[in-house]
Amino acid sequence: MALAPGTPAPDFPVVQRHDAPTLHKLAEHGPVVVYFYPRDNTPGCTREAQDFRDLYPQFQELHAEIVGISVQSMKSHEKFATQHDLPFPLVSDELRSIAKHYEALGPLSSAARVTYLIGKDGKVARAWPSVKVKGHAQEVLDAVKAV
């Protein structure tokens, strides 16, 4: 299950990001790609992060932000982001509150592989409740172009 398009996107509570702590207000940004992933440094999660990284300049041209979220620690995220030269923030959701609000909590209490595109109005514009990594970042970029 995933949040339906048109649903107001829950703001993140005070969270930790690998690059700086912040209160993330989605209504102040947009479009924003919020992608949940199970674990740092696993084959699928690494490929997904690298694909978003490689397309990041094109997302920036469209004034779109990317935020990756998993339930791992900030230390793990810092290492993962540095190792793969990720230009976008990774959010640590160790309490699993963000994943719960976004209906993105997976098996074994890890984050499921779910992506949301949040529009400039702060509402879910598109949801991918069951992500296949190959080609996903390009599919999301194409959706951002249409928003």
Report the b/e string of 40-67 with b at 16+ CB within 10 A.
Answer: beeeebbebbebbbebbeebeeeebbbb
Asked about 45 being catalytic, the answer comes back as: yes
Which of 45, 112, 114, 141 is the catalytic position? 45
Q: C-alpha distances in angstroms, 8 versus 116, 119, 121? A: 12, 10, 8
Q: So which residues are the catalytic ones?
A: 45
